[in-house]
Copies of this chain bind each other. A is one copy, B any other.
Amino acid sequence: MDFVRTRAQQALIERAAAVAREALAPRAGEYDRMGGYPWESWHDLWQQGFLAVAVPTAYGGLGLDMPSYVMVLEQLAQGCTSTTMTLHMHSVVQMYIDVLGTPAQKTRFYPEVVEEGKLFGSWGSEPDRRGGASVGGTVIAPLDGGYVIDGEKHFCTMAGAAHRYMVHCAMDGLASPYNLQLALVPHDHPGLKITGEWDTLGMRATVSPSVTLSACDVPGDALLGRPGESLASGVGLAFGLGYAAIYVGVAQRALDFTIHFCKTHRFEPDPQSRAHDPIVQHRVAEMVMALEGARLVLYQSAGGWPEADAVQRAVLAARAKYMATEAALMVTSRTVQIVGGRSAHRRYPVERLFRDVRTATLMPPSGDRALELIGKATLDVRDHGLLARHAG
């Protein structure tokens, strides 16, 4: 009656843990300091197959199911938050291609990932629009047999680094609240212009500035599905679920640091290590249990994913994200508290994990929005616009 892992999952987890420990972790501090892209870590992820974690096996990817996918994210996040955040966003684009893409699109896009190690970004946020509200002011309109996109996007992760950007648009002239049209824009399109900088508290190596799209023309086969299909597919709700996995992973890294610190440090005039302080034991136990509760809810949500429709997935993701958000904020802040003064120094990873979690937990849906979703589902309160506002 536990979450039993298959042998394949276990092997995968060990491989991800090794990559996190050996490839991602040693560079995470420097990427954070510079606020630059994790090129070397992306390259390693590609070499280890993780860039194709969500690409179907038929196209040379790992084609992981959702439980395996969140377990991989959880492991990688223990190495580098920013690298894993970008991998996750890239992977949800691959999931969209799998569900909405035509055979021709798959044949075209997947090899870019599998063989060339290219990354795909996903741009949804807009100024003055609530986080997670997908259908916004960026409009796509038919033009000369193709389409043209105009608008402004915020938090454009991997702007200038990814190969293609999946832009969340509204199809011109459609009034539906589910009017979300996804379109893939190549990185070298002259209509793209990076307009903002990226100097932030955490998630610094995701480099997510603002971007304007001006008369950005794309051919018809740049579009994924038709308007409304993407929301109905429920694919985008994996954003929130994956964030939860990443918070759990980063918090686990902080907890492990705390445990190691307490076992190996003694301060005058205490007779024994910090681990022997009854208060420390309590604090650590509270961290352990908050994180364990979040992890089990995460696994439960991932386990229920395949059979869930879009509305149910919104709740599953909200449950996982709420629990992981609360646990990770608590665990990383407590880690700073227990480790004490030295945790403030940048030469230890603690303060970075603390900054990363506080930043990454801002990704939609917010904790309050997640509670709203869970509460309405529990109380059978229908909210027709809910899905549209929480597509990720």
Contact = CB atoms under 8 A, between A and B. Distances in A.
Interface core residue of A154, A263, A282, A292 (most chain B CB under 10 Å): A282
29 contacts: A1-B299, A1-B303, A2-B3, A129-B269, A131-B341, A154-B341, A155-B341, A199-B347, A200-B344, A200-B346, A201-B343, A259-B378, A262-B379, A276-B381, A279-B282, A281-B376, A282-B368, A282-B375, A284-B375, A285-B374, A285-B378, A289-B297, A292-B300, A296-B300, A333-B333, A337-B361, A337-B368, A340-B366, A344-B359
Interface in A298-316: 299-300, 302-304
B129 A375 contact: no
A141 interface: no
Tally of this chain's copies: 4
User: Is the interface on chain A under 10, 10 to 19, 20 to 34, or 35 or more residues?
Assistant: 35 or more
Contacts of A292: 297, 300, 319
A372 B270 contact: no
Nearest to A360: B344
Interface in A191-245: 199-203
Interface stretch (A38-46, A92-100, A350-358): A350-358
A60 to B, nearest CB: 25
Interface core residue of A203, A278, A285 (most chain B CB under 10 Å): A285
Interface string A357-392: 011011000111011111110111100010001000
B269 A355 contact: no
B379 A284 contact: yes
B372 A281 contact: yes
A371 B285 contact: yes
B67 A1 contact: yes
Interface string A313-350: 00000010011000001000100110011011111000
Given A283-B368, A379-B259, A374 B289 contact: yes
A76 interface: no
A293 B323 contact: yes
B345 A199 contact: yes
A136 interface: yes
A172 B323 CA distance: 51
A129 B340 CA distance: 11
A259 B137 CA distance: 27
A374 to B, nearest CB: 4
A274 to B, nearest CB: 9
Nearest to A272: B381
A130 to B, nearest CB: 4
Which 6 pairs from chain A and chain B are nearest by CB? Answer: A281-B375, A293-B293, A1-B303, A1-B67, A2-B303, A296-B296
Given A1-B3, A2-B303, A3-B3, A201 B131 contact: no
A389 B268 CA distance: 10
A385 B269 contact: yes
A195 to B, nearest CB: 14
